[in-house]
């Protein structure tokens, strides 16, 4: 049985005090022994949030990580820096990074490896655009994004990572993939991994992301290949985020 995981991605939202209040409110809603819940917060709030959630079950993640380990890379944040700020996770390849900031399959794979070098669990985000879905290339896109990482890191590296399937057309649009649509792609991802390593396929957590809300989370999480969620908008409200976590 795979441990489930519900992860919030705050993106570029909230003030410093709001972030701190949100982290405190989420942590206050958890009890000892809870696990499988994390928030990915803006870099500049990591230290504050780290202090607030220390000795609570809430884990911390960065929203990206540099593809280099240190040096003259203005504006970048390394995996070692994330680790020092208490991160155990880092998103890599979020579709907003891929589409607005030029992150490529190759640079995403490099970021994935950098995170693992520091013992940070990379959360590899993959997913198709609406145009790609409508032209029936969803699986080809998934293959391309997944194989870029497998080819660079090796299949066994995936055992210490998380995959988030986020159809781009469902992000922030209020349009969720149907439970079956999501399950179909999750099953496909797991099968592709199983073809290379059944052990890794059995172990890896595959999260769904895209307009997950308290009222649709339960049905999505009930799907056999969906191990949790990567939550954007609804993670900015402690009550909604906790309700989603409790839907697992």
Specify whether the CB–CB gap between 157 and 116 falls below 8 A: yes
Q: At what angle do helices 138-153 and 105-117 cross, to 10 degrees?
A: 40
User: Nearer Cβ to ligand 13P, position 29 or 229?
Assistant: 229
User: Nearer Cβ to ligand 13P, position 14 or 68?
Assistant: 14
Which parts of the chain fold into alpha helices (H)? Answer: 16-28, 46-53, 79-84, 95-100, 105-117, 130-134, 138-153, 179-194, 198-203, 217-221, 238-245
Q: Which residue has the tokens 């985000």?
A: 125
User: Nearer Cβ to ligand 13P, position 196 or 213?
Assistant: 213
State residue 2 phi and psi, 5-degree precision.
-80, 140
User: Nearer Cβ to ligand 13P, position 110 or 211?
Assistant: 211
CB of 230 to ligand 13P, least distance (A): 4
State residue 50 phi and psi, 5-degree precision.
-55, -45
CB of 165 to ligand 13P, least distance (A): 11
Catalytic residue flag (residue 131): no
C-alpha pair distances (Å), 73 with each of 61, 126, 168: 21, 25, 29
Q: Exposure of 63 by Cβ count < 10 A (0-12 exposed, 13-18 middle, 19+ buried)?
A: buried
Quote the CA–CA distance of 79 and 77 in Å, as a whole number: 7
Does residue 171 bind ligand 13P (CB under 6 A)? yes
Quote the CA–CA distance of 164 and 227 in Å, as a whole number: 10
| Catalytic member of 96, 128, 166, 186 | 166
Catalytic residue flag (residue 94): yes
Q: Judged by CB under 6 A, how many residues of this single chain contact ligand 13P? A: 14
Interface positions, 52-71, toward ligand 13P (CB under 6 A): none
Contact string 80-119 vs ligand 13P (x = CB under 6 A) = --------------x-------------------------
Interface positions, 204-233, toward ligand 13P (CB under 6 A): 209-212, 230-233
Quote the CA–CA distance of 21 and 17 in Å, as a whole number: 6
| Catalytic member of 76, 94, 180, 184 | 94
User: Nearer Cβ to ligand 13P, position 71 or 174?
Assistant: 174
Residue facing ligand 13P at closest CB distance: 232
* Residues near ligand 13P, by CB under 6 A: 9, 94, 166, 171-172, 209-212, 230-234
Active site residues: 94, 166
């Amino acid at each position: 049985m795979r441990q489930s995981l519900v992860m919030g991605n705050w993106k570029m939202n909230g003030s410093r005090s709001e972030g701190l209040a949100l982290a405190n409110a989420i942590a206050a809603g958890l009890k000892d022994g809870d696990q499988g819940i994390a928030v990915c917060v803006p870099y500049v709030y990591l230290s504050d949030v780290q202090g607030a959630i220390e000795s609570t079950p809430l884990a911390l993640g960065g929203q990206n990580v540099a593809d280099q380990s240190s040096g003259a890379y203005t504006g970048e944040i390394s995996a070692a820096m994330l680790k020092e700020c208490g991160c155990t996770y880092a998103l890599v390849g979020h579709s907003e990074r891929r589409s607005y900031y030029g992150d490529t399959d190759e640079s995403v794979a490099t970021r994935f490896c950098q995170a693992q070098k520091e013992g940070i669990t990379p959360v590899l985000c993959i997913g198709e655009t609406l145009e790609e879905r409508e032209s029936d290339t969803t699986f080809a896109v998934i293959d391309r994004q997944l194989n870029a990482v497998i080819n660079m890191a090796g299949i066994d590296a995936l055992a210490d990572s998380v995959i988030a399937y986020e159809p781009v057309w469902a992000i922030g649009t209020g349009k969720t993939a149907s439970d079956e649509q999501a399950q179909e792609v999750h099953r496909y991802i797991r099968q592709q991994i199983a073809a290379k390593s059944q052990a890794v396929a059995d172990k890896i957590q595959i999260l769904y992301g895209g307009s997950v809300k308290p009222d649709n989370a339960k049905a999505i999480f009930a799907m056999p290949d969906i191990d949790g969620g990567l939550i954007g908008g609804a993670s900015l409200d402690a009550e909604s985020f906790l309700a989603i976590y409790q839907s697992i």
